[in-house]
Amino acid sequence: MDTRKKTTRECERVVQSLVESILAGHHPRGARLPSEHALCAKLGVSRTVVREAIADLKAEGVVAARQGSGTYVIDRPGRKGFHLKNVEEVDVLEELRHILELRKVFETGVAELAALRRSEADLHHLEAVVAAMDRWARQAAHSPAKGTTGAQWDDEFHLALARATHNPEIERFQEYLGAKNAAVHRVLWGEEGQVRGWPLVANAEHREILEAVRAGDPAAAWRAAERHLEGTADRVAEVLCPAENPVEEPSAPLERVDG
């Protein structure tokens, strides 16, 4: 079975299980959901699947994360429940194009705003994440790790950048977007990507974003984020598309308008 299809089916199953549990009153409004580890053990799925399911519930306004505390139920699911695309409806390449296009539009703006609003604490955390990712990536380039464990640093960098905007809705959407980025993670952070040294390349791009944010230069941060996301799209295309039929750019290059 195609890995993406399997992950999507498992995600649907986890969402349905959590919805039923909430509706049955096992997790009433205000209650904290079990930890990711507990849900993985109970439902027999990976952390990635649990994160995608939680992200879908967050997007529907059913649960919300409280930093350092966990994920809490904030509303009951609507009567119509949830609809995730059937995997048969999903063209993986088309889905990746859409995700990368969305990231390009959203994350360039996040970097720009972070450059204007970041605090010293934000910068310290971003620096720590980039350093940790660099250590992992250097080791993985010589001795590839199983799975996509290093992707946690990629997720944390982009989430830390969103937190640096000090806008909780931006942070919330970035968390959702990160969970939806699993297909990209499998390409770039799997063993093949590690052997190619792509985590190191991606982290060098993260470093450029960080330095622009540190300098308080929103235009430079925007451009650095755009280069990173264009590089991500190129790396995904290199793996998934034959050279004679490359993936088209998801959109025309963005142009930043000052004013």
Q: State residue 247's pLDDT score.
A: 44
Give the model's pLDDT for residue 1: 46
Same domain, 117 and 59: no
Domain range for 63: 3-73
The reported pLDDT for the residue numbered 78 is 56
Instruction: Flag whether 119 is in a domain.
Output: yes
Q: Is residue 120 part of a domain?
A: yes
Q: What is the CATH number of the domain that holds 36?
A: 1.10.10.10
What pLDDT score does 206 carry?
A: 98
* Rounded Cα distance, 221 and 50, in Å: 32
249 domain residue, yes or no: no
163/160 Cα distance (integer angstroms): 5
Q: Are residues 24 and 123 in the same domain?
A: no
CA dist 227 and 211 (Å) reads: 14
Same domain, 103 and 169: yes
CA distances from 22 to 28, 30, 60, 78, 164 (A): 6, 11, 14, 11, 32
Q: What is the mean pLDDT of each run of 10 residues along the chain (259 residues)?
A: 64 86 83 92 90 82 80 70 40 77 96 98 97 89 73 91 96 84 76 86 97 98 97 86 49 54
Query: Into how many domains does the chain fold?
Result: 2
Q: What is the pLDDT of residue 6?
A: 65
Q: Does a structural domain hold residue 52?
A: yes
pLDDT of residue 107: 98
- Which pLDDT belongs to residue 75? 73
Residue 221 placed within a domain: yes
User: Is 164 a domain residue?
Assistant: yes
- Total-model pTM: 0.64
Cα separations (Å) of 41 from 45, 50, 151, 202?
Answer: 7, 10, 21, 32
